[in-house]
């Protein structure tokens, strides 16, 4: 079945279409599952002469850029033939079994859809990458990319040409990389909990809003321009900051002992948050400065963590104790038509919309004692779900990367709570923080 | 014109003087003076002497007074400076200067005068002894800390259970008493154990502190002296992961604030 889908580059788009049509079944709720992703083989590139000095870094960079995007299944190097072509002229169907035949890569055990190959050399003091991407299942016309890339003749240049080649490969599948995206999070590494920020790969970690009071529960506007968080002053209040300047923005906190957990609508025109009224935290909607406040829920139960559907703006998921232990519910933007999404088992929390407005990631204690959360993804329409982490301590606060393919979350699997990223199928888990206690990540453009 | 008249007047005066001189009568020379009589020399009058000039006591605190005493001989009058003025040659005077003062007594007689000084030292009065320490008045913070105990809750609940009801009744009596004695407010902190999500626990902690507040107000504790703050699970008093520790953290805790 799968092979038939992927016989041509064109059919790749068709394959993606088929995935989305099949999302009804439980194991297909994640937009891109490992099994359905095209396989890519990237044998090590070699450099001629002095260029070889930089090739370890080049190969590592190319490999990890493609792997981290999460759109390809990586062919293990142990499955690859002994030798591989370095230029298109190397292919000889007569050399079958050596790696020099296109069919060696298209058939078992390699079973790749794509093969990336090429080499580097130094010309006029520049590092030149000669790179090709072949669709090996399409022997009549296999070339998808054949291009020269130029960089400085050092490690930096090698890294640069590897990234450019990787970006071209990813663009084939319509993937913009995560470069430039940021992760806001809470860290106590300098004493009190504060809002910190880092690049998507964990580099460049620094404090965003240095307050003396405990700050937590950050959220970012969809355009990345505003950051809201909850500060204990001493009662919890909402704080709003501009991300670029770091400047505090006006926000009118309603009267009451608790205002917290503000999040933004997809177009940034509305905010929702939890505010205590009548003795219970309830869901409210307001303008981004806190004006035009409107109460949306009216129960005698704790109701928190509202999140507006980023795609439609028409519905809100939130957490409520109205039926007993905390569960995830959905309602219309006007508060009507409340439905429980999680089945009532265990405790569920931290719903986070996928950018497509169809799926949520959330944390749930299903199958474990209270407090032992795992990350799940649910199709909000069908309520089918899949479990992405499996009982290794607390796994909480999943939020999606702008690419919709990665999830950042917090876990204490290593003892202390730390920030991790993973692909939306639970693979490729990477730890981004290791100093102090780090939690509540949100991924921003 | 005026000048001419003045000159004329001067000339006239001159001529008159010269004329008068010319008219003086010639008188005979006077007789020689008599020989001086031999008189018995009288002794000069005795010089005045200050026999004593004292101040008693010689040192006072500001506001107290001292007595100047003096006696003299051969004096017909006496003065003391520094605003006292003429005094009898023998006498005494009470003085009460505000700072150290040197008095000069000057006596005068036929034989001349004599003077003498005496200094009265004036010291700052000693500070008053500290008043006896008042009975220590306790702050609302220490009163609440000593007398008001936590109320505990069941997991994921904000209902006031039986043991919490008893504790809150005791707390209400004590709080009414405390709030009458001292100013300030009482913060009711709501806390949770670590198991639920931090976000839900923030709401649950608020719920617990609000439930405790409502219970106290029903029993007559003034609502305007109570404040509610949820800490969720951010400020646990016990950090182990077991039920005895979790129970310690599921509480309404009371803090007095000036």
Q: Tell me if chain B has a CB within 8 Å of the CB of A135.
A: no
Instruction: Among B123, B154, B178, identify where a domain stops.
Output: B123
Residue-level length of chain A: 445
Looking at the fold, whether B160 and B58 belong to one and the same domain comes out as no
The CA distance from B245 to the nearest CA of chain A, in Å, is 14
Under the banding of pLDDT at 50, 70 and 90, the label for residue B10 is low
Q: Tell me if chain B has a CB within 8 Å of the CB of A261.
A: yes
CB of A154 within 8 A of CB of A80? no
CB of B65 within 8 A of CB of B81? no
- Which residues in chain A are closer than 8 Å to B231, comparing Cβ atoms? 232
- Which residues in chain A are closer than 8 Å to B247, comparing Cβ atoms? none
CB of A75 within 8 A of CB of A112? yes
CB within 8 Å: A261 and B202: yes
Question: Residues 175 to 214 of A: which have CB under 8 A from any B CB?
Answer: 193, 214
- Which residues in chain A are closer than 8 Å to B204, comparing Cβ atoms? 302, 321
Same fold, A2-171 and A182-444: no
Give the per-residue pLDDT at A22. 36
Which residues of B lie closer than 8 Å to A, measured between beta carbons? Answer: 155-156, 187, 194-200, 202-204, 206-207, 209-211, 214, 227-232, 234, 241
Q: Tell me if chain B has a CB within 8 Å of the CB of A133.
A: no
CB of A102 within 8 A of CB of A139? yes
Looking at the fold, whether B87 and B160 belong to one and the same domain comes out as no
- Which residues in chain B are closer than 8 Å to A305, comparing Cβ atoms? 197, 199-200
> Does domain A182-444 match CATH 1.20.120.1200?
no
The whole-angstrom separation of Cα B215 and Cα B219 is 7
The CA distance from A355 to the nearest CA of chain B, in Å, is 22
Q: Of A273, A260, A295, A290, nearest to B229 (Cα)? A: A260
Residue B41 lies in a domain: no
What phi-psi label fits residue A225: left (phi over 0), alpha (psi between -120 and 50 degrees) or beta? Answer: alpha
Q: What is the CATH number of the domain that holds B164?
A: 3.30.1330.60
CB within 8 Å: B197 and A261: no
Residue A350 CA to chain centroid, in angstroms?
16
Tell me the per-residue pLDDT of B11-56, one tens digit each, with 9 for 90 and over: 556 555 555 555 555 566 666 666 666 656 677 788 888 888 989 8
Looking at the fold, whether B117 and B151 belong to one and the same domain comes out as no
Element (H, E) at A9: helix A9-21
CB of B160 within 8 A of CB of B212? yes
Residue A326's closest chain B neighbor by CA? B200
Name the β-bridge partners of A443.
A183
Among A192, A301, A304, A368, the strongest candidate for a mutation testing the B interface, having the largest count of B CBs within 10 A, is A304
The CA distance from B60 to the nearest CA of chain A, in Å, is 59
Q: What is the CATH number of the domain that holds B69?
A: 2.60.40.10
The whole-angstrom separation of Cα B137 and Cα B116 is 60
Average pLDDT on B66-89 reads 87
Under the banding of pLDDT at 50, 70 and 90, the label for residue B4 is low
Across the 445 residues of chain A, what is the mean pLDDT of every consecutive 10-residue run?
37 39 38 65 95 95 86 90 92 90 92 95 95 93 94 94 92 74 96 95 92 97 96 97 96 96 97 95 97 96 98 97 96 96 96 95 95 95 93 92 92 96 89 97 95
Tell me the per-residue pLDDT of B120-149, one tens digit each, with 9 for 90 and over: 888 887 777 777 766 667 899 999 999 999
pLDDT greater than 60 at residue B253: yes
Count other C-beta atoms under 10 Å from residue A63's C-beta: 17
Residue B211 lies in a domain: yes
Q: Would you kindly state where each structural domain of chain A is located, as residue ranges?
A: 2-171, 182-444
Which is more confidently placed, A180 or B112?
Answer: B112
Average pLDDT on B84-94 reads 87
> Does domain A2-171 match CATH 1.20.120.1200?
no
Instruction: Output the six-digit token pair for A384.
Output: 């089918």
Size of interface A-B (CB pairs under 8 A): 99
Q: B251: domain range?
A: 140-257
The whole-angstrom separation of Cα A262 and Cα A442 is 13
Which is more confidently placed, B31 or B152?
Answer: B152
Q: Which of B155, B156, B199 sits opposite A261 (nearest CB)?
A: B199
In this prediction the ipTM stands at 0.78
Which is more confidently placed, B60 or B20?
Answer: B60
What phi-psi label fits residue A436: left (phi over 0), alpha (psi between -120 and 50 degrees) or beta? Answer: left
Looking at the fold, whether B201 and B245 belong to one and the same domain comes out as yes
Element (H, E) at B256: strand B251-257
The whole-angstrom separation of Cα A37 and Cα A48 is 33
pLDDT greater than 70 at residue B223: yes
Instruction: Give the number of domains in chain B.
Output: 2
Q: Which letter does DSSP use for residue B136 in this model?
A: P
Average pLDDT on B183-187 reads 96
List Cβ neighbours of B43 (8 Å cut-off, separation of 6 or more).
none
Q: Which of A258, A325, A371 sits opposite B194 (nearest CB)?
A: A371
Residue A100 CA to chain centroid, in angstroms?
37
Residue B198 lies in a domain: yes
pLDDT greater than 90 at residue B159: yes
The whole-angstrom separation of Cα A99 and Cα A114 is 14
């Amino acid at each position: 079945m799968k092979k038939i889908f992927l016989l041509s580059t064109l059919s790749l788009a068709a394959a993606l279409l088929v995935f989305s049509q099949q999302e009804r079944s439980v194991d297909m709720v994640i937009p891109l599952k490992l099994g359905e992703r095209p396989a890519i083989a990237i044998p090590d590139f070699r450099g001629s002469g002095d260029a070889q000095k930089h090739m370890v870094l080049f190969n590592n960079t190319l490999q990890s850029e493609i792997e981290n995007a999460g759109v390809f299944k990586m062919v293990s190097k142990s499955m690859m033939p002994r030798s591989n072509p370095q230029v298109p002229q190397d292919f000889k169907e007569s050399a079958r079994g050596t790696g020099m035949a296109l069919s060696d890569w298209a058939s078992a055990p390699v079973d790749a859809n794509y093969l990336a190959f090429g080499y580097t050399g130094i010309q006029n003091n520049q590092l030149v990458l000669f790179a090709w991407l072949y669709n090996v299942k399409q022997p009549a016309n296999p070339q998808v990319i054949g291009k020269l890339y130029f960089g400085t003749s050092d490690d930096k240049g090698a890294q640069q040409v590897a990234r450019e080649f990787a970006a071209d490969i990813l663009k084939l599948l319509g993937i913009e990389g995560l470069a430039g995206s940021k992760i806001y999070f809470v860290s106590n590494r300098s004493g009190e909990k504060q809002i910190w920020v880092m690049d998507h790969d964990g580099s460049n970690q620094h404090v965003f809003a240095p307050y003396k009071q405990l700050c937590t529960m950050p959220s970012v506007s969809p355009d990345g321009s505003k950051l809201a968080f909850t500060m204990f002053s001493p009662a919890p209040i909402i704080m709003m900051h501009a991300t670029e300047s770091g400047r505090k923005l006006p926000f009118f906190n309603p009267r009451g002992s608790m205002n917290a957990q503000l999040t933004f609508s997809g177009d940034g025109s509305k905010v929702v948050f939890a505010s205590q009224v009548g003795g219970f935290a309830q869901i409210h909607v307001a303008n981004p400065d806190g004006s035009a406040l409107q109460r949306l829920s009216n129960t005698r139960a704790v109701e928190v963590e509202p999140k507006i559907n980023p795609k439609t703006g028409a519905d809100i998921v939130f957490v409520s104790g109205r039926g007993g232990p905390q569960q995830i519910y959905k309602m219309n933007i006007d508060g009507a038509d409340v439905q429980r999404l999680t089945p009532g088992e265990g405790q569920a929390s931290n719903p986070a919309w996928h950018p497509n407005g169809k799926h949520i990631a959330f944390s749930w204690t299903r199958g474990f004692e209270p407090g032992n959360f795992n990350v799940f993804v649910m199709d909000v329409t069908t309520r089918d779900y899949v479990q992405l982490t499996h009982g290794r301590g607390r796994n909480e606060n999943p939020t999606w990367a702008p690419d919709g393919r990665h999830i950042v979350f917090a876990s204490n699997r290593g003892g202390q709570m730390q920030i991790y990223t993973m692909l939306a199928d639970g693979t490729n888990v990477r730890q981004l923080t290791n100093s102090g206690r780090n939690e509540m990540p949100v991924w921003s453009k | 014109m005026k000048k001419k008249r003045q000159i004329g007047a001067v000339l006239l005066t001159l001529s008159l003087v010269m004329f008068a001189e010319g008219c003086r009568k010639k008188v005979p020379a006077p007789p020689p003076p008599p020989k001086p009589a031999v008189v018995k020399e009288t002794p000069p009058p005795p010089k005045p002497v200050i026999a004593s000039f004292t101040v008693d006591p010689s040192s006072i605190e500001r506001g107290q007074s001292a007595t100047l005493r003096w006696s003299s001989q051969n004096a017909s009058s006496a003065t003391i400076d520094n605003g006292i003025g003429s005094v009898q040659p023998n006498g005494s005077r009470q003085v009460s200067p505000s700072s150290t003062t040197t008095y000069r007594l000057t006596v005068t007689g036929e034989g001349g005068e004599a003077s003498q000084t005496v200094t009265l030292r004036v010291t700052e009065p000693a500070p008053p002894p500290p008043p006896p320490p008042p009975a220590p008045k306790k702050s609302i913070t220490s009163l609440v800390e000593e007398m008001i105990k936590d109320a505990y809750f069941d997991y994921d609940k904000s209902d006031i259970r039986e043991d919490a009801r008893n504790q809150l009744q005791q707390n209400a009596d004590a709080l009414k008493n405390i709030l009458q004695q001292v100013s300030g407010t009482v913060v009711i902190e709501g806390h949770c154990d670590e198991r639920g999500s931090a976000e839900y626990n923030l709401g649950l902690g608020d719920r617990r502190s609000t439930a405790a507040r409502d219970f106290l107000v029903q029993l007559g504790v003034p609502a305007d002296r109570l404040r509610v703050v949820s800490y969720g699970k951010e400020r646990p008093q016990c950090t182990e992961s077991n039920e005895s520790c979790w129970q310690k953290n599921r509480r309404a805790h009371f803090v007095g604030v000036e």
